[in-house]
Amino acid sequence: MELGIDLGTANTVVSHARRGVLYDEPTVLLLRAGRSRRERVVAVGHEAADLLGRTPAGLSSVRPLQDGVVTDLETARTYLRAVLHRAGRGWSPGVRAVIGVPVGSSALEQRALLEAAEEAGIRPVTALAQPVAGAIGCGIDPMERRVHMVVDVGGGTAETAAFCFGGVLASRTSTRAGDEMTRAVARYVREQHQLQVGDLEAEALKIRAGTEVDGPLVVQGRDVTTGRPRLATVQPAEVAEAVRPVVDDVVGVLSTCLDDLAPQAVADVMAEGVLVIGGASQVPGFAAELERSLGLPVKLAEEPLTCVADGAARALRDRRLLAAYGRS
C-alpha cells in the first residue's frame, strides 16, 4: 500500500493516491499504564482527543509531536502503528509512504521521524517538506522553472518556503502557530467574558469564527468567579482581535522569506500568488494580514487540511521529484 502521511502537531492525515483520504483525526494517543513498563493503547484520534481535560486516573493523553517534530521515539512508533491500523492497514511490512516534515526541521529531527515510521512497519519511507507536499496536493509542479511560494500554518509551527526546479530557495519557520492562537482565544474569553474554557472549546471557537462570520458564537465554560457552568456569547470579530498579536508575529517572521529571493523570483511569486495551506490558515484575519505584509496576492487552498497528505501520496509515483526534494 502506498500512502501519503501528514503527521502534524494538531492533526494527522493519511491519504491514498487513488482512494483519497483514509484517516483525518487529531494527533492524540490515549494510553493505559500496564504491569510492565510498556503502556497499552486505549484510543487514538478523535476518541483520544475527546478525553483531553477529562482523562480518568490510570490513563494518559499524549501528543506524539511537539512543534512538528518527534519528542519520544517509542510514543511516535506506537502512534503510527495505531494510525495505520485505523486507516485500514495493519503495521506489517508492505506499506510505502512519503511523510510530510517541517521545512525547517533538522536532519536529526527528520531521522527520528523516519526511524519511528520504519519501526512502525513503513518501508521504504521518505520525508518531504510539507510546503512542497501541500503544493503538489494543490496541483502545483515543484519541478517547474518558476518559483512558487507556500505558507503552511499548522498547530505547532507556521512556515513558508519558496522553491523552484527541485530545490528550496528560501524558507522561514515560526514556532508560534495554531496552538498559540488557541491559547490566545482561551485567554481572551477568560479576561473579557470571565469564563474559563478548555483547550477543546477554545479550539472549536477559533475554527467556528473562521467559518461562521455572520452571527454570534456561543461558548460554554466555567465562571471564573462562581465556579459554576455558564454560557457566553462571543462575536467572530472578538476572536480575530484575540489572535491578532499571534498572527502579527507569525506574519512578521514569514514575510522575511522574501529578503532571500532574487527580483526574478519575487516576480514569479507576484504572478502566481502565495498559496496558503494548513488548518490555522482559516483563522479570521490571517490571510488578509499576510497579504498586506507581503504585498503579494494570497490564495487559500481548496483543501487546506488534507492537501499535504494528498500531495505526499502523489509524490510517491514521481521518482524525479523525490530524488530532488525527498530525504530518506
pLDDT tens-digit map of 220-238:
999 999 999 999 999 999 9
Amino acid symbol at 7: L
Predicted confidence at residue 89, as pLDDT, reads 56
Predicted confidence at residue 91, as pLDDT, reads 46
Which region among 66-80, 104-118, 262-276 has the lowest average model confidence (pLDDT)? 66-80
Residue 287 CB contacts under 8 Å (≥ 6 apart), including other chains: 276, 281, 298, 300
Residue 161 CB contacts under 8 Å (≥ 6 apart), including other chains: 103, 129, 131, 132, 149, 150, 152, 168, 170, 171, 257
The chain-wide mean pLDDT, for the chain, equals 92
The domains spanning 2-134+307-325 and 178-243 adopt the same CATH topology: no
pLDDT band at 34 (very low <50, low <70, confident <90, very high): low
Using DSSP's 3-state secondary structure scheme, residue 308 falls into helix
Query: What is the CATH superfamily name and number for domain 178-243?
Result: ATPase, substrate binding domain, subdomain 4 (3.90.640.10)
Fold classification of 138-176+244-300 is: Nucleotidyltransferase; domain 5 (3.30.420)
Q: Which residue has the higher pLDDT, 61 or 147?
A: 147
pTM of structure = 0.92
Q: Which residue has the higher pLDDT, 309 or 36?
A: 309
pLDDT tens-digit map of 75-106:
999 999 999 998 875 545 578 999 999 999 99
Fold classification of 2-134+307-325 is: Nucleotidyltransferase; domain 5 (3.30.420)
Predicted confidence at residue 217, as pLDDT, reads 94
Report yes or no: 76 and 91 within 8 Å, Cβ to Cβ. Answer: no
* In the predicted structure, residue 56 carries a pLDDT above the cut 80: yes
Q: What is the dihedral of CA 32, 38, 40, 45, to 10 degrees?
A: 90
* Sequence ranges of the binding site for ATP: 9-11, 155-157, 203-206
pLDDT band at 37 (very low <50, low <70, confident <90, very high): low
Given the C-alpha cell 519511528, which residue does it identify? 116
Q: What are the DSSP calls for 68-88, one per residue? A: TEES-HHHHHHHHHHHHHHTT
Predicted confidence at residue 143, as pLDDT, reads 97
Q: Which helix (H) or strand (E) holds 320?
A: helix 319-325
User: What average pLDDT does range 36-54 have in this prediction?
Assistant: 86
* Sequence ranges of the binding site: 9-11, 155-157, 203-206
Predicted confidence at residue 93, as pLDDT, reads 54
* In the predicted structure, residue 39 carries a pLDDT above the cut 90: no
User: What average pLDDT does range 154-163 have in this prediction?
Assistant: 95
Report yes or no: 154 and 143 within 8 Å, Cβ to Cβ. Answer: no
Q: Which residue has the higher pLDDT, 12 or 58?
A: 12
Structural domain spans, the chain: 2-134+307-325, 138-176+244-300, 178-243
Question: Which cell numbers hold the place of 35?
Answer: 504491569
Predicted confidence at residue 94, as pLDDT, reads 77
User: What average pLDDT does range 124-137 have in this prediction?
Assistant: 97
